[in-house]
Structure 1
Amino acid sequence: MKNTMSIQYKAPPKTRIGHIHLRVSNIEKSLLFYRDLLGFEITERIGDQAVFLSAGGYHHHIALNTWYSKNSSKSNKSGVGLFHAAILYDKREELAAITRRLIENNYPLTGAADHGVSEAIYLDDPDGNGIELYWDRSKKDWPRDADGSLKMYTKNLNVEDLINA
């Protein structure tokens, strides 16, 4: 096979990440998190082996399976693998609502950050998979250097201010 990596290629501008598919140890335990806490709806289920979940009627945004992971231990944070899956909310008020829900249910957060382009809440699912819940600011409000290049950062997010939005 010829190495073509030196050829300049850009993914088409409307390309999007369609869904995440996670190996989990227990479907029911994962459904308590993704369906009952985060509010995703089941679109299809394959017994106790797999489930597909959606927001807004899409075929699936999240797929969960136990095909190779049933009753496995939690995800190992050191080593290669998924750092986190990010779930994008359309409005700050929607991120505020889910953050309030997490706090009211005493679900542990692992972090909260203002990245300039977005505000984000971080947590782990029951299997230790990192999850980011976030909303994007309007592109016109993104921080830029003098030359116009994007300048993202990580600052502490005022969670109290967020949940009062």
Structure 2
Amino acid sequence: MDIDQYTVPAQTRIGHVHLKVADLDRALDFYCGILGFEITTRYGGQAVFISAGGYHHHIGLNTWYSKDAPAAPQHGVGLFHTAILYPTRKDLAFILNRLLKADYPLTGASDHGVSEALYLNDPDGNGVELYWDRPADQWEYLPDGSIEMYTKSLNIPGLLAELKK
């Protein structure tokens, strides 16, 4: 294989994200208490690994270099957001309902054609996207064969109606 022709294998996945946080308990209140992740491993009072469904960890949280530190500036380099993919539209509706009941602020809600997404910040100001993908056979394509993606307002009442189905 020519090294210049290499592409990442199609089965490649992003395994986990590891976030620096200022306050571990505050981060756990958000990721476990509101979003519903489960703790899989603790490293004393400095780090915790959390997951969905028993995986070793989807998200690592640590205070190794960030205990009591201020949030990173919004207009600087760094992580834009962590995207958490839900399996169904109903699952996304469920987490939206949880966020609304907790009075947790959203920073956005969008229909991207290929997906529907909720945007918010965790307590440390890290961006979080909660989304579900439409089935690929529902995606639209441009004349050149590329996937048509856009950002339109998400139909929040329509999403929440999933809970009644």
Normalised TM-score (structure 1): 0.95
Q: 1:84 aligns with which of 77, 81, 84?
A: 81
Map Cα deviations across residues 56-87 of structure 1 (whole Å, 9 max, x no partner): 00000000000000000112111110000000
Q: Which residue of 2 aligns with 1:47?
A: 44
1:74 corresponds to which letter in structure 2? A
Question: Cα offset for 1:9?
Answer: 1.5
Distance 1:57 1:112 in 2: 29
Distance 1:100 1:81 in 2: 29
2:33 corresponds to which letter in structure 1? D
- Unaligned ranges ≥5, structure 1: 1-5
Q: 1:163 aligns with which of 142, 160, 163?
A: 160
Percent of aligned positions with the same letter in both sequences? 60
1:99 corresponds to which letter in structure 2? L
Normalised TM-score (structure 2): 0.95
Distance 1:82 1:18 in 2: 16
More helix by share: 2
Q: Which residue of 2 aligns with 1:19?
A: 16
Distance 1:111 1:78 in 2: 18
Out of 147-156 and 9-18, give the one that drifted further.
147-156
Q: Is the counterpart of residue 10 in structure 1 residue 4 in structure 2?
A: no
Question: Cα offset for 1:147?
Answer: 3.5
Q: 1:73 aligns with which of 70, 78, 85?
A: 70
- Unaligned ranges ≥5, structure 2: none
User: In the comparison of the two structures, how many residue pairs are matched?
Assistant: 160
